Amino acid sequence: QVQLVQSGAEVKKPGASVKVSCKASGYTFNSYFIHWVRQAPGQGLEWMGIINPSGGGTTYAQKFQGRVAMTRDTSTSTVYMELSGLRSEDTAVYYCARPRISVSVTSSFDYWGQGTLVTVSS
């Protein structure tokens, strides 16, 4: 069965960077994009960007341009999301999500990781 397993909770100081991992299993890793979505405490869902595991191509939300980097390691079927220049407003649960349809950016997010809480505090 399809599974996305994320790394554990992180506590970071303002200005630091965080790298969250998302290990995929149960399907052909290269065939499906991975999206990253975050949710601040008590707030709604916010799309951050997308990575194509096949070639590594990425598209980021304008809000995060210059601060986010999404990468992948095909040997371990893992994608990573690194966010730099952390501030208190980046405190959130970060999710990776896989679409229903392979190589489709518009497809619904059918599978989600369990979420990773990133806390930014001095």
Partner 1 sequence: QSVLTQPPSASGTPGQRVTISCSGSRSNIGSNTVNWYQQLPGTAPKLLIYNNNQRPSGVPDRFSGSKSGTSASLAISGLQSEDEADYYCAAWDDSLNGRGVFGGGTKLTVL
Where do contacts with partner 1 occur on this chain (CB under 8 A)? 35, 37, 44-47, 50, 59, 61-62, 95, 100, 105-110, 112-115
Q: 3-class DSSP state for residue 64?
A: helix
Choose among 30, 23, 18: nearest CA to 93: 18
CB of 44 to partner 1, least distance (A): 4
CB of 7 to partner 1, least distance (A): 15
CB of 13 to partner 1, least distance (A): 26
Cα-trace Rg, the chain: 14
List all residues 6 or more positions away from 87 whose beta carbon is below 8 Å from its beta carbon: 14, 15, 120
Q: Pick between residue 41 and residue 75 the one whose CB is nearest to partner 1.
A: 41
